[in-house]
A and B are shown apart, each in its own frame.
Chain A
Amino acid sequence: MSVRRLAKIQPESFAFSEETRATADWWISKYPEGRLASAVIPILWLAQKQEGWVSEPAIRAVAELLGMPVIRVFEVATFYTMFMLEPVGTKALIQVCGTTPCRLRGAGDIMEVCKTKIGLKDHLSADGNFTWQEVECLGACANAPMAQINDYYFEDLTADSMAQIIDDFAAGKTPKPGSYAGRHSSEPEGGPLTLTDPALYDGSLAKPVILPNQPAPEPVEGGAA
């Protein structure tokens, strides 16, 4: 990570779309009066969802919406690396995990693919469609190597599958997220090795007991209260 600055070229203005505004109001309604600043991260995130990145006018708009000093919003936006302060690819923002487990399982090859297909790390591609970044652990080590593309995890990647995914995005398709090694989630390859019998976990073997704190049945509307 390096020093994070606002982008040199900034849009003239920022306005919340109606949809964003409605979601923002829902977030704001979760916090009591006078504590609106608590909603700054979700609202910044919404602004980023709307525009793809957080621009300077967007920071001001968020500050105005929440009644915060604009520097406080700026602090949050520069602190969290999930807020993009520069424009990112319109089709995909690829965040390749480069932490040890992924690295050991071949994240380097995946980055190499990104480099040849998209260009330099942290730079918008020439056509403006892609940006790729190296990020720290995204917590899917069991499915290493992996990358987060836009909102989804793409796991068990290989150089070939990564190249295919990028091509699909470029062609306007929506590649399927999840494991590219045919796994459902993070179970062992080739199917589960434990808990193979459903009776072990569906409760059928358990002794029927009555819990002391078992919730009472729901009171009926209009009943004695």
Chain B
Amino acid sequence: MPIAKVNGVEIEFEPGMTVLQVAELAGEEIPRFCYHERLSIAGNCRMCLVEVKPGPPKPQASCALPAADKQEIFTNTPMVKKAREGVMEFLLINHPLDCPICDQGGECDLQDEAMGYGRDDSRYVENKRAVEEKFMGPLIKTTMTRCIQCTRCVRFATEIAGVSDLGLIGRGEDAEITTYLEQAVASELSGNLADICPVGALTHKPWAFNYRPWELKKTESVDVMDALGSAIRVDARGPEVMRILPRVNEAINEEWLADKSRYAVDGLMRQRLDRPYVRVGGKLVEATWAQAFAAVAGKIKATAPDRIGVIAGDLSAAEEMKAALDLFTALGVKSIDCRQDGSALHPKWGRESYLFNSTIQGIEDADAIMLIGTNPRIEAPLVNARIRKRWIRGDVLVGVVGEQADLTFPYTYLGAGVDSLKRFVDHGPIQKEKPIFILGAGAFARPDGAAILAMAAEAAGSMGLVKDGWNGFNVLHTAASRVGGLDMGFVPAEGGKTALQMVEKGGADVLFLLGADEIDLGQTDAFVIYMGSHGDAGAHRADVVLPGAAYTEKPGLYVNTEGRTQMAERAIFPKGEAKEDWTILRALSDELGARLPYDTIEQLRDKLITDHPTFGQIDYAPGHASAAAFDLMAVGEKGETTDAPFVSPVKDFYLTNPIARASRTMAECSSLHAGASKMAAE
């Protein structure tokens, strides 16, 4: 490997690295504005100037300069400092001095670098440039006067998000960042634009003027808005979650975050269930916990176990599902289900049959990708971004069976439904090293899901997706709780009913919903007990409401679609009289005379890990570890299929769960999006 000297210290580096990367490798921090390690190199801010020998006797932009063997790099010479000071002075010529009213204040790259390289006064007496504000949609607030034309946002939108909406128009002093005719940015990843903006030109519109970064309590947690479990940081002030930002997790979200995960936070403050309710004479009235428990216990005790049904929702943590599973199994209840979307996935076919086995990072190694019954752009925008990243690198086949949606990258359309999938059943091995299937809920969450699952598995087997060192059979879930539920066996026992059977008319006499709002409760005539955080479909239909905690308000384990168990932390406390969900079940178990054997969350987790060891493997995704033992032929149940096309279960990206539906920001995005797609259809 080539060796360079950084400030006199020798360091080995990979061929092809830039001077900036080599300096970083040596631990020297190089100031930068336009350079971003996940975007293409622009080299237009000039802040990363260094001195390089051999080379011309002038400072060089290190971000765009390839490092060479035996190169000497100096990052702290007087010449470098003076050059950077010059650049900083130029950047500040037109940058307004409005840090006190700027939302980026306190976490601004320009502010930080100005501490190191800024002058204490200005030599510039002319008027500063002023730039008209631009409209970029309901999520991005612009203050374009602050823009330093780093073009990070343009590159992000074009390269990562895959929507060429942003551009740098004009030139020189008149250069401006804008969307074409000031349309909204049509991306599910638009919030990242504000993150990558090094100054306060693009900020988060829903959170404008709401907080200062230093007054927030930061809690590292896990996102539950989709099944990826993106790494997030929950920033709270007092009892309110002010914002959610991504954390770096190369395995899942890199450093991006989907808009819903980020901007649905105002939903945590609205439509909250903060006290128990009991239906008296057809109306829900406020009750105490004791009254609510008495109502629940009385009803459950008076009902035969086979007439009781338990359904877990999309946002439940593993702890409360485990508590519910233990409690109701102890009571002899068999109708227990975590698949409220009616999916056919079942743990009996092996864990690999419902996991994203190639792992999300593994998408980057794949050389043939087939999307079956899924629209990853709205079901998991960051998976879509990964596929796009893979596509940009080239030499990959992407095929789609299902909806023909705009995925931000071109693909071969292979058909709409089962018939198209059937062609691949006896396809024979594909001439690719690492092919993958991505199977979405559109394929398996339907009455003939088991048969489709069997067909897809057969096709996967025929095409050689699963081999030593590679498992390309991937299931993309849409709910954060689903894999955890399947892992612990939160499915109907022998003779039990599935979720969809439970909510049929006469399907059950008592329904216990753990935040299950995505299921149609219109037919059921059961006594409905709803435990959850938001007043949504479930609470409206409920006969007893038990107020629980939202995902920012309880510690919890979530298993993402890869089978990666992740631990979320509590950022704030539950609202009003609400309690952490597992403690409600623990208290209820006393009333029911079936006391759960744990008093603390640690004991509960111990029990969970003892019963299901996969929950103990925090941050571990099995990937292809068990590929050899995975029998694709055993997946699913062969049977009749209908030729209905695969339809993604996510109708509206912005409104998939109770928190998002309570959010004003999401409602605004949704209506704007609906309007835009209506206009496009006309």
Contacts and interface: CB of A to CB of B under 8 A. Distances in A.
Contacts of A56: 181
A7 B274 CA distance: 55
Given A3-B174, A3-B176, 16 more contacts: A1-B172, A2-B174, A3-B170, A4-B174, A56-B181, A69-B165, A69-B180, A71-B164, A71-B166, A71-B167, A72-B164, A74-B167, A74-B169, A74-B180, A75-B167, A78-B169
A70 interface: yes
Interface of A: 1-4, 6, 56, 69-72, 74-75, 78-79
Contacts of B374: none
29 contacts: A1-B174, A2-B174, A3-B170, A3-B174, A3-B176, A4-B170, A4-B174, A6-B181, A56-B181, A69-B164, A69-B167, A69-B180, A71-B164, A71-B165, A71-B166, A71-B167, A71-B179, A71-B180, A72-B164, A72-B167, A74-B167, A74-B169, A75-B167, A75-B169, A78-B169, A78-B170, A78-B171, A79-B170, A79-B171
Nearest to B172: A1
A98 B548 CA distance: 74
B103 to A, nearest CB: 25
Nearest to B158: A69
B167 A79 contact: no
Contacts of A2: 174
A70 B180 contact: yes
Interface SS of chain A: helix
Contacts, number: 37
Interface string B315-335: 000000000000000000000
A122 B323 CA distance: 76
B269 interface: no
B500 interface: no
Interface string B152-184: 000000100000111111111010100111000
Shortest 4 CB-CB distances between A and B: which pairs? Answer: A69-B164, A71-B167, A78-B169, A71-B180
Given A1-B174, A4-B174, A79 B169 contact: yes
A165 to B, nearest CB: 31
A70 B169 CA distance: 12
A75 B171 CA distance: 9
Contacts of A1: 172, 174
A56 B182 CA distance: 13
Nearest to B168: A75
B136 to A, nearest CB: 12
A71 B167 CA distance: 6
Nearest to B179: A71
Which of B164, B170, B172 is packed against the most chain A CB atoms within 10 Å? B170
Contacts of A3: 170, 174, 176
A6 to B, nearest CB: 8
Contacts of B165: 69, 71
Contacts of A72: 164, 167
